[in-house]
Amino acid sequence: MADSSFDIVSKVERMEADNALNQASKEIDQRYDFKNVGADISWSGESIVMKANSEERVKAVLDVFESKLIKRGISLKSLEASEPKASGKEYRIDAALKQGIDQENAKKISKLIRDEGPKSVKSQIQGDELRVSSKSRDDLQSVIALVKGADLPIDVQFTNYR
């Protein structure tokens, strides 16, 4: 019998993030506490730029955006936001959505599977994802449960289960 396998990836669907950003933008336009503070949130290439005329207001914009991400099912582990910084008369926060598993985290996950997972399971790093394979599908299910239960610094999804 051939090996069964699945991939562990860390991806954020751009459309969902776009929807969250649009919802946050609408809420910022409508809310009374954001009136006349120059609050704005928008894409700038692959990053997200939040602006307002005070540090508290720009943090509130970030808070609104984070709540919209959660509602759209995107983990906050995928959002990497900078500290508010003054830029002329306004404060800005630049944020990016993390895509892919970096080498360090891939090695951590691989070590976790090797140490605590079933012995028949093999994992290998392939670029920015991790391929896990085994003859037993039950072993793969237990690895998925193990990785879900681990406190990882990144958000992971499981794809190509076959």
Total of domains in the chain: 2
Q: Which pLDDT score, from 0 to 100, does residue 119 have?
A: 87
- CA–CA dist 69, 41 (Å, integer): 13
Domain shared by 64 and 113, yes or no: no
- CA–CA dist 119, 16 (Å, integer): 37
CATH number at residue 76: 3.30.70.990
* Structure letter (DSSP) for residue 2: P
Question: Given 47, 81, 97, which residue is the final one in a domain?
Answer: 97
Given the DSSP bridges, would you call strands 129-134 and 4-9 parallel, antiparallel or unpaired?
Answer: antiparallel
Q: For each of the chain's 162 residues, which pLDDT tens digit applies?
A: 568 888 989 999 989 999 999 999 999 999 998 888 889 999 998 899 999 999 999 999 999 999 999 999 999 999 999 999 998 889 999 999 999 888 999 999 999 988 988 888 888 889 888 999 988 888 889 889 998 888 888 888 889 888
Q: What pTM does this model have?
A: 0.85
Question: Given 97, 128, 145, which residue is the final one in a domain?
Answer: 97
Domain shared by 93 and 108, yes or no: no
Q: Which pLDDT score, from 0 to 100, does residue 152 have?
A: 87
Q: Which range of residues forms the domain containing residue 34?
A: 14-97
Q: Which pLDDT score, from 0 to 100, does residue 23 have?
A: 95
CATH number at residue 130: 3.30.70.860
Residue with tokens 């959002």: 79
Do the Cβ atoms of 140 and 8 come closer than 8 Å?
A: no
Domain shared by 18 and 93, yes or no: yes
Q: Which pLDDT score, from 0 to 100, does residue 51 have?
A: 93
Given the DSSP bridges, would you call strands 157-159 and 4-9 parallel, antiparallel or unpaired?
Answer: antiparallel
Domain shared by 80 and 22, yes or no: yes
